[in-house]
Structure formats: structure tokens, C-alpha cells
Amino acid sequence: MSTHPSSDLEHFFITTPIFYVNASPHLGHLFSAVTADCLHRYKLLQGFTSKFSTGTDEHGLKIQQAAEAAGRDPLSFCTDVSERFKHLFVKCNISYTDYIRTTDPVADASDSTGKRIKISLESGHKVEWMKEENYMFRLSKFRGQLLDWLTGNPGAIQPERFYQDVLQWLQEELPDLSVSRQRSRLQWGIPVPGDPEQTVYVWLDALVNYLTVAGYPDDHRLWWNSATHVIGKDILKFHAIYWPAFLLGAGLPLPQAVRVHSHWTVEGKKMSKSVGNVVDPIEKSQMFTADGLRYFLLRQGVPDSDCDYYDSKVVKVLNAELADSLGGLLNRCTALALNPAQRYPPFCTELFHGTMGRATPEDHHMLDAVRDLPSVVERHYESLRVYKALEAIGGCVRLTNGFVQRHAPWKLNSGDEGDRRWLDTLLHVAFECLRTYGTLLQPVVPEISNKLLSRLGVGPDHRSWAALSFLPRSRGMACPFEGRALGSDSGVLFSRLDPVNTDNRKPRH
């Protein structure tokens, strides 16, 4: 299990794409954001100082045309749509540290010598003006360096299938890339410095945002060495070929990793405004709660292949895994009937492990699985296969429910000293399992995890990855929670969803 990172690795920088604002946010945008947010929260739990940037890409011909069609000026159109993204991210607990817009204004300031310069109003960083004599980027010049980078860093692009796609692209000649457009055709964009007749190509404008957030040109190294981009597969070429080539051309280090995810379909069809099947994530977060929607996306989202969305699947997954399995376990074990003192009960080593112990081989198998769970979850979070982490957690939750059902603590005689001590021991084990699940689930469902850990009386100081030590009493060590009062009962952990109020259609095969 990881401890606090060493000083040279203590910073982590993760980005989503900046999302194009020619239309309102959809489920795919939220999936990118939730995936990045999960990794950001996980790194914080591990003791990293993490920076997480997202935002909106607001230049280009499509936005110019969309604004014209809406009868709006481009900036007010962009501001309106950008605010919808912000609203969605707030609703779904996206804990970004930086939100950048490519229309962020600049202002006048003075450098240390008194010279007038331009600075970003958002970040306060100096704006650097660059000049080029032509506006074709010699992409072809960097093919060899890109191949060297990828063959020397096979984990730079994940999953593997997308790494192989990029290698295949690089087997072919790379045409040089136009990085500007005629101003007469595209007014909505950043003018090329020194040539007002040209507008900067929107992707060059957009990709540079990552450096801006990292603090380029003066303070970026602290963050840039750990940069990880989370992107959808449709923009892989821009992030795995164009962007690294731009960085090589500028003499800058390449990102640490590009993590790629696939798309969401709706009942087997691509989301499309013309078809009318675009999933509104705000509506769904209200229907299923923010944590419910987060859990479903990360539980069902497989990076390697497209995933299918339909409401009845959401209901089925959330009812089974959050309401019944996890929520039922918590409610059963903290009930007044089993724990009238409402305290974290003591553990009796002799009754569990001794020669006359009551634990079964299945119980020891469960303890081994839960003890190993943090390292399993860590591996899957690191590779952004969150669905595998949730699968592993869910399997352990089922084992714990089986443990409680097998020993039926409600049948024990509380008046008998041995039974009472065994009841406390059973509940202590169940609480330790629940504490582990609540801690590990924080990056995925922060509100549900907070509710679970608060009910167990686990305070903020004991929710980090380093505090995960499972069932220390079984190893002869002290448990910091034993004897503590439980938190107040705030009701069910996750309310069951009524399938009557949702779309019950089945997926098409």
C-alpha cells in the first residue's frame, strides 16, 4: 500500500479536455470530468498535492456559426454555455482546482523591470507573444521523435488499444499542419501575433491551456512533470500526436500520460441531437442523485470499448449495489437492536482466532480479501479502470453480507457473556469492513462515503489512504475507533429508486 509520496513526486496534475461550447454538456463530457475527478480525489487521499483543471474551448468556426444561428454575439453565447458546464460540474461534485476558458481576458501589468506586459486575469501569469514567419507547423519533422517517445514509454497512452492506434498512425507520413486560418473566414478566435489577417487554429489555442494552468512559462515545471490528460477517444490524435509535437517544437517535456476513454451510446445508438437521444446529465443527476450517476458512469464505463446507457440499467445497478448491498449492510450492523450502545464495539481475539474460536474458513477468506482490497483498488484507480475497482469492492461487500448472514448476530443471546462478546466481535469486523469500503469509495461517491464514515464515527483525520489499516486488533494492535460513539443515524445510505418513474426499456443487442 502506498504511503505519503516522496518529495519529488508529491505533485500531481490532471486535466480533462477543455470542452467545446457549441452545444450544452452531455453525458460524455460528464464522464470525462468524473473520471478525472476520481483520479484527483484518489491522489489527494494518498497525500499528493493535486491540481485538476477543466474548462471550455470557445473559439472556432463552429462556435461562430452556432452563435450566429442563435442570434447572439460569440462571447455572450460562449459565456452562457460555459456556465452550463460549471453548473453541471458543481451539481456532480467535480472538485476541479482550475477552470479555464480560452476567452479569458488579459490585462495590463508591469514586470520586475517596469516594462508594460499583458497578464491573464484568470491566472495572473504573463502572456508571452510569439512570432512565426509562416503558419504551417512542420509536423512531419517530429515523427521520429514521437515514435521514440512512445516505444520508450509504452504506458504513455492507455489503454493499450489506443497506444497501438497511435503507433499505427506514426507508421505513415505525417502531413504538415496548418495552424492558422484566414481572418476573413474566421473572425472568432485569437489573432496570430503580428498578423491580424490570420486567426490561430483552434486546436493550437485549446491545447496550450494545459501549460497555462501549469503556470507556463515561469512556474510550470512543478506541475508539468506529472501531467496526465484524460480524454475521449475522438480527440486522441490531437493529444497523442499534435500536442506532443507542439511541445517538442517548443523544447518542452511531454505529458506523463494520456488516458483515453471510449464513448457512451444510448440503447445502442450514438447520441445525436437530430435523433433526439442526447442524455442530459443535469436531469439524470436529479433523477438518480449526483453520487448515483457518478457511481453508474464509473461502474459501467469501460475505457476500451463504448458503453450503453439506459435508465433501467442505472436503476438496477444502483439499487443492487448501493441501496441493497452496501446500504443494507450499514443499516443492519448499526441498528439499535444489535448495537444499543451505539458504539464501535470491541474485538475479542480469542473468540475469533483462538483454538475455541468461532470464525469459519469462509470468515478468514473474507478477511484476506478485505485486507488485500486497498492494493487491488489502488492498481485499478492508477490505470483508470475504475469499474474494476468497484467490482472488487462490490465483491467484498457481498462477502461481508455473507459473513453477517452466516453468523446471524440477531439470534445471539445478549444475556450470555460469551454470546455478547461474540456479537461485539462480529460487529467490529463488519464495521472494519465498512470503514474500508467507505474510505476506498471516496473518489467515486464522496457524499455517500462521507455519510457512511460519519455514521461509523470515523472523522476526517482517519479517512486517508494511510489510515486504511484493516482490523488491527486481529494483529494484536490497537484500534483507534474501538469504544467510540457512532455518528448520528441520518437514515438510509442510498434510497432505492423506483423503476416505475424511469425508462424501463432494455438494451438492444
Other C-beta atoms lying within 10 Å of the C-beta of residue 509: 5
Predicted confidence at residue 360, as pLDDT, reads 92
Classify 233 as helix, strand or coil: helix
Classify 216 as helix, strand or coil: coil
Is the alpha carbon torsion for 454, 459, 460, 466 positive or negative? negative
Per-residue pLDDT of 80-137, as tens digits, reads 999 999 999 999 999 999 999 988 777 555 555 666 666 655 445 566 554 333 478 8
State the average pLDDT over residues 421-428: 96
Per-residue pLDDT of 224-236, as tens digits, reads 989 999 999 999 9
Other C-beta atoms lying within 10 Å of the C-beta of residue 383: 16
More confident residue, 207 or 105: 207
Query: Per-residue pLDDT for 1 more than 50?
Result: no
Lowest-confidence region among 17-31, 164-178, 265-279:
265-279
Domains and CATH numbers, the chain: 7-104+119-261 (3.40.50.620), 313-475 (1.10.730.10)
The Cα-based distances of 276 to 63, 203, 331 in angstroms read 21, 28, 41
Classify 220 as helix, strand or coil: coil
CB-based burial, 285-313: b 16+ in 10 Å, e otherwise? bebbbbbbbbbbbbbbbebeeebebbbeb
Residue 318 near residue 288 (C-beta atoms within 8 A): yes
Instruction: Identify the band that residue 2 occupies on the pLDDT scale cut at 50, 70 and 90.
Output: very low
State the average pLDDT over residues 328-356: 92
Predicted confidence at residue 505, as pLDDT, reads 39
Rounded Cα gap, residues 397 and 403, in angstroms = 10
Predicted confidence at residue 267, as pLDDT, reads 83
Give the helix/strand (H/E) hosting 116: strand 116-120
More confident residue, 200 or 467: 467
> What's the angle, vertex CA 16, arms to CA 13 and CA 17, rounded to 5?
125
Percent of the chain topping pLDDT 70: 91
Residue 133 near residue 179 (C-beta atoms within 8 A): no
Query: Per-residue pLDDT for 175 more than 80?
Result: yes
Predicted confidence at residue 464, as pLDDT, reads 96
Per-residue pLDDT of 404-419, as tens digits, reads 999 999 999 988 999 9
State the average pLDDT over residues 44-53: 96
More confident residue, 462 or 202: 462
C-alpha 482, offset from chain centre: 33
Instruction: Identify the band that residue 216 occupies on the pLDDT scale cut at 50, 70 and 90.
Output: confident
C-alpha cell recorded at residue 225: 512533470
Query: Per-residue pLDDT for 459 more than 80?
Result: yes
CA atoms within 13 A on the CB side of 359: 20
Query: Per-residue pLDDT for 221 more than 50?
Result: yes
Q: Residue 100 has what DSSP assignment?
A: E
Residue 409 near residue 423 (C-beta atoms within 8 A): yes
Closest C-alpha to 403, from 332, 350, 453: 332
- Phi, psi angle pair for 325, to nearest 5°: -70, -60
Q: Where are the alpha helices (DSSP H) in 117-199?
A: 143-152, 160-169
More confident residue, 315 or 203: 315
Q: Where are the alpha helices (DSSP H) in 215-280?
A: 221-224, 236-237, 243-249
State the average pLDDT over residues 31-54: 97
- Phi, psi angle pair for 22, to nearest 5°: -75, -5
Predicted confidence at residue 213, as pLDDT, reads 92
pLDDT mean across residues, the chain: 89
Predicted confidence at residue 135, as pLDDT, reads 76
Where do we find the cell 490497537?
A: 478
State the average pLDDT over residues 367-380: 98
Identity of residue 187: Q
Rounded Cα gap, residues 167 and 351, in angstroms = 59
Other C-beta atoms lying within 10 Å of the C-beta of residue 111: 10
Strand order in the sheet with 195-200: 180-182, 195-200, 191-192
Predicted confidence at residue 416, as pLDDT, reads 92
Instruction: Identify the band that residue 165 occupies on the pLDDT scale cut at 50, 70 and 90.
Output: very high
Rounded Cα gap, residues 491 and 51, in angstroms = 35
Q: Which residues contact 494 (CB under 8 A, 6 or more apart)?
A: 289, 291, 292, 318, 322, 323, 326, 327, 448
Q: What is the pTM of this model?
A: 0.89
Other C-beta atoms lying within 10 Å of the C-beta of residue 420: 15
